[in-house]
């Protein structure tokens, strides 16, 4: 994993050459999700960077729930996040933490800053603070900036004790009201907010702000490199200010990288939650969702997702990657790993007139020609088979080489057959196709070497299983539903799911397990649905089509 080096690794290599700022420790990173939703493919990028960098340097990566904001967090998400990370193949060992477990220490550092004259309790309301934040030419103001240390200490303690209204007082770091970086204009580091917290309950009515909490969490855990996305770049001076002004031994270094964007989808937990809550999708794990659980249910492999991030690389320039590239990475992996099977999505009966009634043959076929060690399986063959309606045309179109009266095709791995006609009902609908088989062509090759242009897939009616097939398309009809000035909900693709109820699949699939992945010959890559598929009601999700619309340069 993460074998290719990127700019973050170059920075670390330089540091190590200079004796390192890792204090003799190995590289120690962390992945800090906010437990307010499920992880998506963008988080997987951060996961690859955090865990991948640790792995590359023989270091460690912590998993930390960033739960300092009590408004929207939920324990439900914590378990889901852990499961998704494990599924991707990452291991945090016994280093699982909650930011909220450091609340007491954070409070202590707040006190320390006040004592050092580096923080003060401010009585400006949020509105007043906004009015007094100044602009590029005017510094911000606070009439409380020079309040005596003792007074701030007393007020801060009473804030904690619950003596003041929500939003009435804040603790602010005393840095630089004239700073060109507005994050440094005496940022609020604590606010009063009487909301129960999913872990600490009603113990606290003051909560630390992210910019204060995060560097403390990192420092307390001995994190050497705090890797985060680009939107925190302007916050780095504050990050450094915090670790440099509190009594911690470890001084982690923040390095930012570009966020991942993908076409035809949204990558924000808020928007994804909205899709779930408005019923546009069936849940966070709907196979159309870019969430890890959705991609997994769709049929994505951990390897395909890791390859996708690996190939995209890591830089400081935000970019949007084509959705088709993600599909390409999946196809590449499934081509090597997915077992082949035959499934007929739109079945019509094929009757082989000269094949003895009641006779059955077994053909041993390779599970995956790309991977001979995957072994073989048996498919049965008899007089009546299912084939796809599209593989027969009574009046062939130009360049149509499949079944039409008089034409020969190969039934995959079985026999060469010649179409002799079809049956129709009173309305003219085709109810069965008739053919004769070449008894000399067992296995699919002609004895006289004559060329057969087309090969079609089939399923034995005697042993076939019924299946429900779910075909998925892009969730959004436009490339960039995420743009600020459009309402992404207006662009949800109404045809993103097509359900086929009466498909016929080969008998071996009756034994498949949830999440087993297959290449249905000539049809696409499919995955047994983890929620709805059972031996008595098989359900397969199309993970990706066979055709490759994407060609990497
Ligand atoms: P969202 O907007 O989806 O809620 P977030 O950044 O608020 O994303 P967090 O749970 O705070 O979500 O993210 C955990 C980590 O994942 C952070 O380090 C964040 O930078 C990273 N991350 C989130 N989205 C992306 C993305 N699209 N590309 C790369 N990294 C991301
Ligand atoms: Mg966040």
Note the pLDDT tens digit of each residue in 219-231.
999 999 999 999 9
517 lines ligand 1 (CB under 6 A): no
* Cα angle: 88, vertex 270, 197; to 5 degrees: 85
| Largest Cα–Cα separation, the chain | 102
Q: What per-residue confidence (pLDDT) applies to 79? A: 95
What counts of helices (H) and strands (E) characterise the chain?
12, 27
35 lines ligand 1 (CB under 6 A): no
Q: Which CATH superfamily is domain 7-257 in?
A: HUPs (3.40.50.620)
- Work out the average pLDDT over 239-249: 97
Q: Could you tell me the fold of the domain covering 269-340+467-545?
A: Ribosomal Protein L25; Chain P (2.40.240)
**Active-site choice (133, 259, 273, 522):** 259
Q: What per-residue confidence (pLDDT) applies to 22? A: 58
- Work out the average pLDDT over 86-101: 97
Query: What do you get for the CA distance between the two ends of the chain, in Å?
Result: 23
Question: Is the pLDDT score of 68 beyond 80?
Answer: yes
Tell me: the pLDDT tens digits for 379-388? 999 999 999 9
Question: Is the pLDDT score of 360 beyond 60?
Answer: yes
Enumerate residues with CB within 5 Å of ligand 2 (an ion): 34
Question: Is the pLDDT score of 553 beyond 70?
Answer: no
CATH 3.40.50.620 range(s) for the chain read: 7-257
Confidence of residue 19 (pLDDT cuts 50, 70, 90): confident
Tell me: the pLDDT tens digits for 431-446? 999 999 999 999 999 9
pLDDT > 70: percent of the chain? 97
- 3-state secondary structure at position 43: helix
The whole-angstrom separation of Cα 162 and Cα 155 is: 10
Nearest to 208 by CA among 109, 282, 289: 109
Confidence of residue 485 (pLDDT cuts 50, 70, 90): confident
- Whether 115 is catalytic is no
**Active-site choice (45, 160, 269, 331):** 269
309 lines ligand 1 (CB under 6 A): no
Q: Which atom of ligand 1 is nearest to the CA of 268?
A: 3
| DSSP secondary structure code for residue 552 in this structure | -
Q: What per-residue confidence (pLDDT) applies to 2? A: 45
Q: What per-residue confidence (pLDDT) applies to 24? A: 57
What's the pTM value of the predicted model, to 2 decimals?
0.94
Radius of gyration of the chain (CA): 31
- Work out the average pLDDT over 232-255: 97
Q: What per-residue confidence (pLDDT) applies to 484? A: 75
Confidence of residue 507 (pLDDT cuts 50, 70, 90): very high
214 lines ligand 1 (CB under 6 A): no
Q: Which atom of ligand 1 is nearest to the CA of 36?
A: 10
* Contact assessment for residue 190 and residue 212, using Cβ atoms and an 8 Å cutoff: yes
181 lines ligand 1 (CB under 6 A): no
315 lines ligand 1 (CB under 6 A): no
Question: Is the pLDDT score of 3 beyond 80?
Answer: no
State the distance from the centre of ligand 1 to the C-alpha of 549, rounded, in angstroms. 29
State the distance from the centre of ligand 1 to the C-alpha of 15, rounded, in angstroms. 26
- Work out the average pLDDT over 189-214: 95
Q: What per-residue confidence (pLDDT) applies to 69? A: 86
Confidence of residue 17 (pLDDT cuts 50, 70, 90): confident
Number of Cα atoms under 13 Å in the Cβ half of residue 34? 14
Tell me: the pLDDT tens digits for 133-153? 999 999 999 999 999 999 999
- Whether 203 is catalytic is no
42 lines ligand 1 (CB under 6 A): yes
Question: Is the pLDDT score of 302 beyond 80?
Answer: yes
Q: What per-residue confidence (pLDDT) applies to 23? A: 55
Question: Is the pLDDT score of 355 beyond 90?
Answer: yes
State the distance from the centre of ligand 2 to the C-alpha of 266, rounded, in angstroms. 15
* Contact assessment for residue 494 and residue 339, using Cβ atoms and an 8 Å cutoff: no
Q: What per-residue confidence (pLDDT) applies to 1? A: 45
Confidence of residue 262 (pLDDT cuts 50, 70, 90): very high
State the distance from the centre of ligand 2 to the C-alpha of 137, rounded, in angstroms. 31
Which of 2.40.240.10, 3.30.160.620, 1.10.10.10, 3.10.450.50 is the CATH number of 343-457? 2.40.240.10
**For residue 43, which ligand has an atom nearest its CA?**
1
Tell me: the pLDDT tens digits for 455-484? 999 999 999 999 999 999 999 999 999 887
Question: Which of 57-71, 162-176, 493-507, 511-525 is the least confident region?
Answer: 57-71
Q: What per-residue confidence (pLDDT) applies to 75? A: 80
pLDDT > 90: percent of the chain? 91
Question: Is the pLDDT score of 213 beyond 70?
Answer: yes
- The CA distances from residue 198 to 190, 202, 221, 236, 355, in Å, are 19, 9, 22, 28, 68
Tell me: the pLDDT tens digits for 380-414? 999 999 999 999 999 999 999 999 999 999 999 99
CATH 2.40.240.10 range(s) for the chain read: 269-340+467-545, 343-457
244 lines ligand 1 (CB under 6 A): no
Q: What per-residue confidence (pLDDT) applies to 547? A: 83
Mean pLDDT for the chain? 94
Q: What per-residue confidence (pLDDT) applies to 463? A: 97
The residue with greater pLDDT, 526 or 5, is: 526
Angle between helices 302-312 and 75-88 (to 10 degrees): 80
- 3-state secondary structure at position 417: strand
Confidence of residue 324 (pLDDT cuts 50, 70, 90): very high
Nearest CA to ligand 1 atom 9: 33
* Contact assessment for residue 470 and residue 499, using Cβ atoms and an 8 Å cutoff: yes
Nearest CA to ligand 1 atom 15: 33
Q: What per-residue confidence (pLDDT) applies to 309? A: 96
- Whether 474 is catalytic is no
Q: Which atom of ligand 1 is nearest to the CA of 232?
A: 20
Question: Is the pLDDT score of 116 beyond 50?
Answer: yes
């Amino acid at each position: 994993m993460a074998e290719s080096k990127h700019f973050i690794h170059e920075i670390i290599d330089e540091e190590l050459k200079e004796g390192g700022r890792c204090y003799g420790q190995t590289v120690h990173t962390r992945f800090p999700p906010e437990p307010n939703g499920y992880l998506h493919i963008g988080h997987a990028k951060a996961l690859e960077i955090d865990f991948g960098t640790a792995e590359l340097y023989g270091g460690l990566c912590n998993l930390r729930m960033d739960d300092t904001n009590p408004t929207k967090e939920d324990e439900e998400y914590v378990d889901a996040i852990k499961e998704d990370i494990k599924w991707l193949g990452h291991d945090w060992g016994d280093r699982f933490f909650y930011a909220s477990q450091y609340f007491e220490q954070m409070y202590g550092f707040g006190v320390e800053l006040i004592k050092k004259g580096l923080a003060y309790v401010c009585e400006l309301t949020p509105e007043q603070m906004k009015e007094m934040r100044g602009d590029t030419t005017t510094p911000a103001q606070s009439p409380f900036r020079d309040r005596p240390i003792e007074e701030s200490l007393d007020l801060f303690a009473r804030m904690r004790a619950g003596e003041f209204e929500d939003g009435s007082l804040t603790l602010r770091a005393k840095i630089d009201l004239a700073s060109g970086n507005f994050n440094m204009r005496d940022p609020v580091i604590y606010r009063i907010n009487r909301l129960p917290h999913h872990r600490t309950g009603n113990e606290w009515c003051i909560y630390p702000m992210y910019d204060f909490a995060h560097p403390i969490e990192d420092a307390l855990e001995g994190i050497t490199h705090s890797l985060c996305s680009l939107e925190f770049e302007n916050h780095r001076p504050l990050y450094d200010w915090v670790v440099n002004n509190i009594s911690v031994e470890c001084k982690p270094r923040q390095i930012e990288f570009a966020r991942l964007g993908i076409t035809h989808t949204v990558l924000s937990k808020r928007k994804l939650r909205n899709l779930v809550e408005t019923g546009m999708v069936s849940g966070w794990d709907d196979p159309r969702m870019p969430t890890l659980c959705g991609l997994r249910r769709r049929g994505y492999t951990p390897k395909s997702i890791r390859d996708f991030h690996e190939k995209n690389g890591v830089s400081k320039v935000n970019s949007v990657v084509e959705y088709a590239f993600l599909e390409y990475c999946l196809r590449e992996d499934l081509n090597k790993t997915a077992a082949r099977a035959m499934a007929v999505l739109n079945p019509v009966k094929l009757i082989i007139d000269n094949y003895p009634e009641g006779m059955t043959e077994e053909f041993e076929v390779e599970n995956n020609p790309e991977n001979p060690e995957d072994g073989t399986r048996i498919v049965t063959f008899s007089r009546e088979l299912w084939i796809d309606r599209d593989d027969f045309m009574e009046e062939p179109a130009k360049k149509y080489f499949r079944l039409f009266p008089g034409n020969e095709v190969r039934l995959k791995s079985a026999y060469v057959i010649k179409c002799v006609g079809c049956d129709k009902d009173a309305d003219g609908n085709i109810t069965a196709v008739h053919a004769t088989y070449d008894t000399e062509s067992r296995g699919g090759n002609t004895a006289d070497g004559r060329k057969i242009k087309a090969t079609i897939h089939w399923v034995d009616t005697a042993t076939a299983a019924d299946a429900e097939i779910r075909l998925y398309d892009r969730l959004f009809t436009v490339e960039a539903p995420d743009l600020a000035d459009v309402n992404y909900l207006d662009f949800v693709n109404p045809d993103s799911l097509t359900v086929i109820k009466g498909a016929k699949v080969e008998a071996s699939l009756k034994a498949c397990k949830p999440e087993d992945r297959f290449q249905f010959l000539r049809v696409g890559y499919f995955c047994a649905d983890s929620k709805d598929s059972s031996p008595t009601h098989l359900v397969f999700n199309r993970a990706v089509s066979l055709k490759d619309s994407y060609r990497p340069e």
